[in-house]
Amino acid sequence: MSLPSSTQAAGLEAVFHALRPELERRARAMGAADEAEDVLQDVWIRVQGSRGPIANPRAYLFRMVYTGVLDRRRGRLRTSAREAAWVRDAASAVDPATSAEAERALIARETLAAVEARLEALGDPAAMIFRRHRLDGHTQRRIAEDLRMGLSTVEKHLRRAYAALLGLEGDRA
């Protein structure tokens, strides 16, 4: 790439400013409600730190908003899970600090082991496609080209992997 990254980043910043009202509207539509401002603030910080050429800045910014909203939802889930756990610990009056923390760490590890096992049980190519797509960040088109598969086949494998990981057992589509 010939353009220095600062120029590209500046370009993205300009697009951000131009699209700001729309980005905020989208954050609200995604359910961010009164946190929409905060989501945009996060996006702005990430825009400033972003490097490299961006083919479609508009879609790129929409994705950043989406990720920001998703992260906030996840944060809320964690908070309420922590609070619920705290209430339970307090109610149980059983040495909460040590046993509960250790237990939770164990559960987290084993949940992960179960997740990995689920993926392995599914086998390749679905497991491999899922890892490339979600862990390595390859686009579905690129994976399709590499594996000489149709895009819809890649999508189908991904769908199976998601259904397995999310425990949507009945899913056959």
Partner 1 sequence: MTDTSHPVERAALDWLVRVNDPAFDAWDDWQAWLDQDPLNATVYWRLATAEAEIVDAMAAPSRRSGLRPAREARRRSSRMWLTAAAAVLVAALFGIGWYGLMRPQPWLVETAPGEQRALELADGTIVHVAGGTRLRLDRRDPRTATLESGRALFEVAHDDRRPFVVEVGEVAVTDLGTVFDVTRLPDGARVTVSEGVVRVDLKGRAATLNAGDGVIARERGFERRTVAPAAVDAWRDGRLAYDNERMEVIATDLSIALGQPVSVAPELTDRRISGSLSVSGAPESVRRRLELSLDAKVTNNGAGWRIEPRAVP
Among 11, 19, 96, 153, binds partner 1 (CB under 8 A): 96
The residue (of 4 and 172) whose beta carbon lies closer to partner 1 is 172
Which span (9-17, 40-48, 102-110) binds partner 1, by CB under 8 A?
Answer: 102-110
Distant-in-sequence, close-in-space partners of 61: CB < 8 Å, separation ≥ 6: 12, 15, 16, 19, 23, 43, 47
Closer to partner 1 by CB, 4 or 131: give it. Answer: 131
Report CA-CA distances (Å) from 152 to 18, 73, 143, 158, 171.
Answer: 35, 30, 11, 10, 17
The answer to whether residues 10 and 47 touch, using CB atoms and an 8 Å cutoff, is no
Nearer to partner 1, 37 or 110 (CB): 110
Contact window for partner 1 (CB under 8 A) among 7-15, 36-44, 45-53, 85-93: 85-93
Please give the Cα distance from 91 to 130 (Å, whole number). 41
Count the alpha carbons within 13 Å of 29 in the hemisphere toward its beta carbon. 9
Contact of 32 with 39, CB cutoff 8 Å: yes
- Among 17, 84, 120, 146, interactor with partner 1 by CB under 8 A: 84
Residue among 92, 119, 116, 117 nearest 103 (CA): 92
Write the binding mask 37 to 76 for partner 1: x where contact by CB under 8 A, - elsewhere: -------------------x--x--xx--x---x--xx--
26 contacts partner 1 (rule: CB under 8 A): yes
- 146-151 contact pairs (CB < 8 A, 24+): 149/125
By CB under 8 A, name the binding residues for partner 1: 26, 29-31, 56, 59, 62-63, 66, 70, 73-74, 77-78, 81-82, 84-85, 88-89, 91-92, 94, 96, 99-100, 103-104, 107-118, 133-135, 137, 139-141, 155, 158-159, 162-163, 165-173
